[in-house]
Amino acid sequence: MIKEFEKDLVENVFNYLKSLESKQDRYKFIPASDGLLRNGRNLDLGFSCLALKSFYITGLWDQLTNNEKKGWIEYINSFQKNAKGYPNNSFIDLNYLKGFTDLDLMRLSKKTLKKLLNLTRLYSFEKDSKIKIDGIRAESKQAISTLFQVNERNRLKYSDFPHKNNEIRSFLEKLNWNKPWSAGAQFSALCVFSKTQLDESEFIIASKELSNFIDSIVNTNDGGYYLNPVPERSELINGCMKVLTGLDWLEKPIHYPEKLIDLCIKSNPSQEGCDLVDIIYVLYRCHNETKYKEEEVKKFLYDQIPLIEKHYFYGVGGFSYYINKSQINYYGLKITKGKNIPDIHGTTLLLWALSMIYEIIESEKISWKVIKP
């Protein structure tokens, strides 16, 4: 069954990715082929970055002409701009901001209700302003890392992140390390920005401070990165994934790879796209640093292929983020009706997961590239 799945995937993935590309605007991609809501039709930047990463993983990027590559890079860089109320040189998809102002009746009702509930102080819903700022920062990180993956850089330096010793330490200490997935994501973003936006001397200083902080919170019992109490296992592993991506950008070793291997191979990952990718990434990184329980790691990873296959659509060439349902939300905006079809986010995530598995099990049939997250 796995051989049939791999054969179908290799034959159809290119056509699926191309089917999502706009016929009018080159390098613009939609998140799914059907069930699109207004924001799903209008958003540009994030889906283009995901598509480029899928092209890179599968080797399709190498088949593009130099002019096609240049055009795609220029398209992503075209989103870097200054807009009032947002950090300078952010990557801003204006349609993303517009998505928060084009309120339908249902969204307006929910927004009003959340405001009223916040006034009771029994609830604390995030305001749209914070969601937008966080979304712009996330899209900036996505664009910068995508360009870096193909040996390109953003035109203008992005600087909306702490990069001096005292700033870095203060920022990291304020994060909630009882919830390592969220805190780890902030740490990882800081590592990406430091590596790509600082000059060499600044990066050396920032890298040392980032490393020193993460040294101080690693748990010597299980190898995780958190402050007590011990998080629930999926939160723990997903948090490790985020921290390990940061260490990858810093080119720093994992503290206790053997302990993380033990943690992962005793786990039953959720079948949601991100959870599958997270545990695969942790094992991939740890295996690259130690041959501890090598055969068990290979078997565990091989056994994830049928789980990934459950997200796959034969004859189409894409994966859905959820089993039998496409991605619904994107940084605070609804983008699709969640139909039983593949989507660009699920496809990119699970192609990446497969690329790591195939490298570790030394597949002779598929040799894809592993991206730097």
Q: How far apart are CA 338 and CA 336, in angstroms?
A: 5
Determine, yes or no, domain membership for 370: no
Q: What is the pLDDT confidence band of residue 108, given thresholds at 50, 70 and 90?
A: low
Res 54 pLDDT > 70: yes
**Boundary (domain end) residue, out of 207, 238, 254:** 254
Residue pair 276/307 in contact by the 8 Å Cβ criterion = yes
pLDDT the model gives residue 117: 44
Tell me whether residue 115 is in a domain. Answer: yes
Q: What is the pLDDT of residue 365?
A: 77
What confidence score (pLDDT) does residue 123 get? 47
Q: Tell me, yes or no, whether 94 and 113 share the same domain.
A: yes
269 vs 281 pLDDT, higher one? 281
Q: What is the pLDDT of residues 145-170, one digit of tens each?
A: 999 999 999 999 999 999 988 999 99
For the chain, what's the residue count?
373
* DSSP one-letter string for 30-79: -SBSSSB-HHHHH--HHHHHHHHHHHHHHT-GGGS-HHHHHHHHHHHHTT
Domain ends where: 254, 284, 305?
254
pLDDT band at 111 (very low <50, low <70, confident <90, very high): low
Kindly report the average pLDDT of the chain as a whole number.
Answer: 92
| CB-based contacts of 284, cutoff 8 Å, min separation 6 | 301, 356, 357, 359, 360, 370
* For residues 296-309, average pLDDT: 96
The residue-averaged pLDDT of 188-201 equals 97
Helix, strand, or coil (residue 125):
coil
Is residue 326 domain-shared with residue 216, that is, in the same domain? Answer: no
Residue 113 has pLDDT above 90, yes or no: no
User: In this predicted model, which residue has the larger pLDDT, 103 or 44?
Assistant: 44
pLDDT at 67: 98
* The residue to which tokens 């190498």 are assigned: 62
138 and 36 in a single domain? The answer is: yes
pLDDT score recorded for residue 322:
95
pLDDT digit string, tens, across residues 232-264: 999 999 999 999 999 999 999 999 999 999 999
> Given this model, what pLDDT does residue 103 score?
60
| Same-domain check for residues 150 and 230 | no
pLDDT at 121 over 70: no
Residue 70 belongs to a domain: yes
- Same domain (yes/no): 96, 15: yes
Number of folded domains in the chain? 2
Q: For residue 367, is it within any domain?
A: no
Counting residues of the chain whose pLDDT is more than 90, the rounded percentage is 84
- In the listed set 254, 283, 313, which residue is the last one of a domain according to the structure? 254
- Evaluate if residue 210 carries a pLDDT over 60: yes
pLDDT of residue 366: 85
- Determine the pLDDT at residue 362: 87
Maximum distance among all Cα pairs of the chain, rounded to whole angstroms: 61
Q: Are residues 279 and 136 in the same domain?
A: yes
Choose among 1, 2, 7: nearest CA to 315. Answer: 7
pLDDT of residue 116 exceeding 50, the answer is no
Q: Is residue 282 in a domain? A: yes
- Are 285 and 318 part of one and the same domain? yes
Q: Does 141 share its domain with 30? A: yes
| pLDDT above 60 for 119 | no
264 vs 127, which has greater pLDDT? 264
Q: Is residue 261 part of a domain?
A: yes
Token digits of residue 149:
């993956």
Residues 6 or more apart whose CB falls under 8 angstroms from that of 19 comprise 33
Establish if 317 belongs to a structural domain: yes
CA 242 to chain centre: 9
64 lies in which domain range?
Answer: 2-154+256-360
Residues 68 and 184 grouped into a single domain:
no
Q: Do the domain assignments include residue 55?
A: yes
The reply to whether 114 and 127 lie within a common domain is: yes
Query: Are 111 and 173 within one domain?
Result: no
* Predicted pLDDT of residue 269: 81
Reported as a pLDDT band with limits 50, 70 and 90, residue 105 is very low
Q: What mean pLDDT do residues 286-304 have?
A: 97
One domain, residues 87 and 35: yes
Alpha helix (H) residue ranges in the chain: 2-19, 38-42, 45-58, 66-77, 94-101, 105-119, 128-149, 165-173, 180-197, 200-217, 233-250, 257-265, 273-287, 294-309, 344-360
Average pLDDT over residues 306-318: 96
